[in-house]
Amino acid sequence: MNLKYRRSLIVLLFVSHLTPGTNLWSQDKAEAPKYKTVKNIPYRNEPNATDYMKERCRLDLYYPAQTKNYSTVVWFHGGGLKAGNRSIPKALQNKGIAVVAVNYRLHPKVKAPAYIEDAAKSVAWTFKNIKKYGGDPKKIFVSGHSAGGYLTSMIGFDKRWLKAYGVDADQIAGLIPYSGHTITHFTVRAERGIDGKQPIIDNLAPLFHVRKDSPPVLLITGDRKLELLGRYEENAYFWRMLKVVEHPDAEIMELDGYNHGQMAEPAHPLLLRFIQRIVKKRQEKSSN
């Protein structure tokens, strides 16, 4: 069976069996945890913080208040690094996990690498604070759609960004970028006066930082015929290079029939299944 067809069939079968509100952790309704949301938490409090940084560098935390040692997803919104606002994806609610939804500074008010620094700082905040809310710092996953996928890969593969805030990127339990650039982002190229159709791979490209010892990674894109220019192909090449360096846990999934804007919804169940697999694998390893 064609590999692309087989993966797409698996995705369709999996998604079709999930009804709205399905909890992958199979909790009884009577035992379902209550959730709390803490909004508008500032994650950058530097003495020299600008007004724009104080306004924009905030996050919302949604978590199961009666559960301990739960997994957490740090979620970055899309918008080309130029637009967008944080939100808690509905498909990730009531699933026994926490979600940290992050705002970051945007072009043209800032330029690279400001938004990458913000992404790293918000993940560092999560590592340093999630335990206070009952979460497990060893079960922090990072994800996001489009520009959020790019930020996910940048801070997960290029270790300098999190290192600046006292966190080792390899502490991340898993990376799940949705349809993110793996070459240098088109907004970064535009800031340099480079045409959007001119691909660049430099130190602001996740591809530049391919390494076998990064956290487990699940790359998800829309249909290659419907996606943004080259988006599937660059992710496929990224996956291929991860295999070349013998990364032990890297997957790619293409969602047939879904364009760039549509692909996030069918991707959410795949993220949840990925989290469940990684957590189970770690539990089995620790028990042996």
Question: How far, in whole angstroms, is CA 11 from its chain's centroid?
Answer: 19
Rounded to whole angstroms, the Cα distance separating 261 from 227 reads 8
Rounded to whole angstroms, the Cα distance separating 103 from 122 reads 9
What's the confidence (pLDDT) of residue 17? 44
**pLDDT for 80-116, tens place per residue?**
999 999 999 999 999 999 999 999 999 999 999 999 9
Residue % of the chain over a pLDDT of 90:
86
Give a yes or no: residue 287 inside a domain: no
One-letter amino acid of 144: G
CATH number, residue 177: 3.40.50.1820
Give a yes or no: residue 100 inside a domain: yes
What's the confidence (pLDDT) of residue 33? 74
Over 60: is that where the pLDDT of 225 sits? yes
Domain count, the chain: 1
Give a yes or no: residue 107 inside a domain: yes
Over 70: is that where the pLDDT of 5 sits? no
Residue % of the chain over a pLDDT of 70:
89
Over 50: is that where the pLDDT of 19 sits? no
What's the confidence (pLDDT) of residue 168? 98
Give a yes or no: residue 286 inside a domain: no
User: Do 150 and 185 touch, CB atoms closer than 8 A?
Assistant: yes
**pLDDT for 47-60, tens place per residue?**
999 999 999 999 99
Sheet of strand 250-255: strand arrangement: 35-42, 58-64, 98-102, 70-76, 135-145, 174-178, 217-222, 250-255
Give a yes or no: residue 214 inside a domain: yes
What's the confidence (pLDDT) of residue 31? 57
Over 60: is that where the pLDDT of 170 sits? yes
Q: Which pair of structure tokens corresponds to residue 227?
A: 């996606």
Over 80: is that where the pLDDT of 3 sits? no
Rounded to whole angstroms, the Cα distance separating 239 from 185 reads 17
Name the least confident of 2-6, 36-40, 73-77, 79-83: 2-6
Give a yes or no: residue 30 inside a domain: yes
What's the confidence (pLDDT) of residue 32? 62
**pLDDT for 182-198, tens place per residue?**
999 999 999 999 999 99
Q: What is the average pLDDT score of the chain?
A: 91
Over 50: is that where the pLDDT of 1 sits? no
**pLDDT for 228-247, tens place per residue?**
999 999 999 999 999 999 99
Rounded to whole angstroms, the Cα distance separating 263 from 256 reads 9
Q: Which residue segment(s) compose the domain that 129 sits in? A: 3-281
Give me the DSSP letters along 96-129.
Answer: S-EEEEE----TTTS-TTHHHHHHHHHHHHHHHH
What's the confidence (pLDDT) of residue 76? 99
Mean per-residue pLDDT, 51-71? 97
Confidence of residue 285 (pLDDT cuts 50, 70, 90): confident
Confidence of residue 75 (pLDDT cuts 50, 70, 90): very high
